[in-house]
Structure 1
């Protein structure tokens, strides 16, 4: 996964595998977002976000432990993940996965087929203008 926070409060997550960051780098970036003490959303896309072949058991444990340590801040500041998927089959799978995702992370995963719609909805959720 590659994370880009240049457009904060939109935190872009790319699951395509290009420019992949280590789990330590990823968690450090997440922590930087939480330290801003400001509401934000994830805007994600890319292939098979729920199946990272490079993710080890140790990586999953590190994420789970980090999430537990930051649970309150995650619930306070992360308002949603908007996942953009153009394939109707993958979108259906993502919608099914979104239930598990929401229970684990504590914020909803909203699946859409259009990035512009996702950005517009994200700004509305944050109470901001998208212009």
Structure 2
């Protein structure tokens, strides 16, 4: 996994791209994003290949421990993860997973059909966040 924050507050996430420092480096990058204490969204523009997206047991265990440690910050600052999936059938199949994902990570998984729709949704979600903060 690799994170690209060059378009912050939209952070691109790449599951099929190794991070030079391994999984620990990706989680450290994620921690730095959370430390900014600013709302952001994760965007995965590539279709997920279910056959290529298996994580080793140790990697899943490490991620689980990391999630528990950062639960409050994840809920406070990550406004969602947007997944692009052009296939209507695959989008439908992802609905049950999206519920489980949201409970585990503390932010929603939003699945859309195109990159254009993903960027528009990202803007809508972030605009809503700014609007909600301004009304306090």
Please indicate the TM-score interval, normalised by the length of the shorter structure. 0.7 to 0.9
Name which of 18, 21, 27 aligns with 1:20. Answer: 18
TM-superposed deviation, 1:48: 3.0
Q: Counterpart in 2 of 1:52?
A: 53
Aligned length: 125
RMSD: 1.8
Computing the radius of gyration over CA atoms, which structure comes out larger, 1 or 2? 2
Structure (1/2) with the larger helix percentage: 2
* Structure 2 unmatched ranges of 5 or more: 131-136
| Moved beyond 4 Å, runs of 4+ | none
Q: Superposition pairs for residues 1-131 of structure 1, below 5 Å? A: 1-15=1-15, 17=16, 19-21=17-19, 22-46=22-46, 47-48=48-49, 52-53=53-54, 55-127=55-127
Which consecutive residues of structure 1, in runs of 5 or more, have no partner in the other structure?
A: none
TM-score (norm 1): 0.86
Return the offset for 1:14: 2.1
Offset at residue 81 of structure 1 (A): 0.8
What's the offset of the Cα at 1:95?
Answer: 2.2
Name the SS of the counterpart of 2:97 in structure 1.
helix
Residue aligned with 2:110, SS: strand
